Amino acid sequence: MSDHALRLLREQPHLAELAAFPFNFDLARADHGEAVRLASSGPLEAVAGDDTGGTYFVCGDGSVLYADSEGSAGIIGNSVDEALEVLVGLPGWHDYLGLAPADGEEKIRAAVAETEEEIREYHGIDDERTELRAGLGLPERSPVELIGLLHAALLRTEPDFLLLNAEEGGAHDLLDRHPRPPLWEAVLARGRTDLTLLREGSAWDEVTGDRARRALALRAAQFDRREGDLPLLRHLLRHEAEASMTDELRLAAVLVGLHGHAEDLPLLYEVRETDFDTWCGLGGMPEPGADPAELRSWARGLDDSLFGTDPADEPLFTWTDLAHEQGLVELARAALIRRLDDIDFRAYRDARDAKAMERRDASQLSQLVYEFEQLGDTFQALRAQRLYVPLQTRAWDRVSALLRLARLEREEGRFGAAIRTLASLRDTLAEPDGGVGDSESDNSLGHWQRTNLGAHIVEEHYAVARTAATDTALAGEVRAVTVAAGELLARLSGTARANVERHLAGTTDTHTDTQTDIRAAIHTDTGAKPDDDVSAEPTPPQPSAG
């Protein structure tokens, strides 16, 4: 994308002055005032600003992103040249964010004429526009053309140019309010194409052999059901079984079962017997030889409770998972961030309403943490986990949530925060009610020393100590965490302790002093020696996490 005009503005002060006034593209106002970044982590360079506190950023592909001072942002041009065409040709462009080519030439020209007449009451724009266009080599376009450019650019803002507050992680609102297609429509597009190919008898091997395409084709079939689809549904069902138990495998079984053909029962039974997960996931399925009506009844029950025919009824995570599978990572990320922002806003709104906080569904936050981690976005996963932790009322759940929080903080390089989180975790181990409940009635942590949770707690203490050792300002805290880890290790059962020691023996650390402290803690606090055999104790079943 061309930045010819930007170079000219930087080289010729007179042109830069014209751009700054009256067209409000001021190179001297490039400081946005708060740290921002793209959700995609793509490059972002502030190049100019305006007198309202807004800032113009150039993205990695040359697109210009405008962020106002009220927390909204949008792409306004595919390049600096194009953005300047809009700014110079439509000096009142902020007033036209709701306009689109579909509004028609008459409405567009009337809106532009009205705004420009108001501007002319205070200062000139016509001669200045002619001079700046000539100096920058910008073409003269009609208001209708410019509105078309602006409208098309704005619609490209999400997902690739979603702007975040760099510290808190929340997303800016869209600069415009033009309707966008729902997430499911973009995700299903490939699946609908593949379903058409399957119905035409082509690309069977290509579609069924590709996990992402197969899943999308099944989802397309879910919302476009036809009597003649049974052969291709059987084919998709056989291949989906290779992926073990998935939502799409259950969907394929349901779509086949809804046809109610007794001859499909052996196939369905064979798929159910693929492994233990499929046996559990397809439970309740009629055995071979059952009445077709029974098969239809089983399929209809699952369809009513889990699937249906309206894509808008599907959970958000269905579409974000499918988007991720087909490589639409930024589409998935943007949708997940928007959902997290909604929950974060409700948490802020309900902060003084304990009952409202208790009513909130923590399962969505837990799922968001998982989804962000799948995307490799630890920053947003950490945001979600911070909201999740206070919602845990059982001691076991609080400790598990704090452990995950400490890991995410460590992975984000927030070592001081991770150390403080581990201190809160130890407080909960010492006093399970944490001052908010009845510890005598909550015995979920009664055997933490003999479980995998106990081992993971100790391992995370040592992991934080190793990684935080690079921060000399935290030397005292690192030593305290190392000592605490040794004390916790001493409380583990023989088997759990041996597992931790084996794990630690396989870790490497470039910080020699910390590694020495860890080894000393292991062999001093536990009474073990490097060559001792640690007695193995049976580990009882892990308490339910609820």
Question: DSSP string of 47-70?
Answer: EEE-TTS-EEEEETTS-EEEE-TT
Cβ–Cβ contacts within 10 Å for residue 443, how many?
A: 12
pLDDT of residue 503: 85
pLDDT of residue 368: 97
pLDDT band at residue 516 using 50, 70 and 90 as cut-offs: low
> For residue 384, what are the CA distances in angstroms to 154, 305, 418?
28, 28, 15
pLDDT of residue 534: 35
Q: What is the DSSP string of 417-448?
A: HHHHHHHHHHHHHHSTTTTSS-TTT--TTTTG
- Contact between 393 and 452 (Cβ < 8 Å): no
pLDDT of residue 140: 95
pLDDT of residue 358: 61
Region 46-73: what's the mean pLDDT? 97
Token pair of 332, please?
């998935």
Region 363-374: what's the mean pLDDT? 96
pLDDT of residue 431: 87
pLDDT at 196 over 80: yes
> For residue 204, what are the CA distances in angstroms to 199, 234, 268?
9, 12, 20
The fraction of the chain above a pLDDT of 90, given in percent, is 83
pLDDT at 527 over 50: no
pLDDT of residue 199: 97
SS3 393: coil
pLDDT at 296 over 90: yes
SS3 89: helix
pLDDT at 366 over 50: yes
Pick from 14, 24, 23, 58: nearest CA to 38: 58
Beta strand 163-165 pairing with 36-38? antiparallel
Token pair of 389, please?
């932790």
Token pair of 150, please?
């602006």
- Which amino acid is residue 245, in one-letter code? M
Q: Which carries the bigger pLDDT value, residue 495 or residue 222?
A: 222
What is the spatial distance between Cα 25 and Cα 6, in angstroms, rounded to a whole number? Answer: 10
pLDDT at 532 over 50: no
pLDDT of residue 356: 64
H helices present in 273-315, as ranges = 276-281, 292-306
Cβ–Cβ contacts within 10 Å for residue 341, how many?
A: 18
Region 156-169: what's the mean pLDDT? 97
Q: Which carries the bigger pLDDT value, residue 131 or residue 363?
A: 131
pLDDT of residue 355: 62
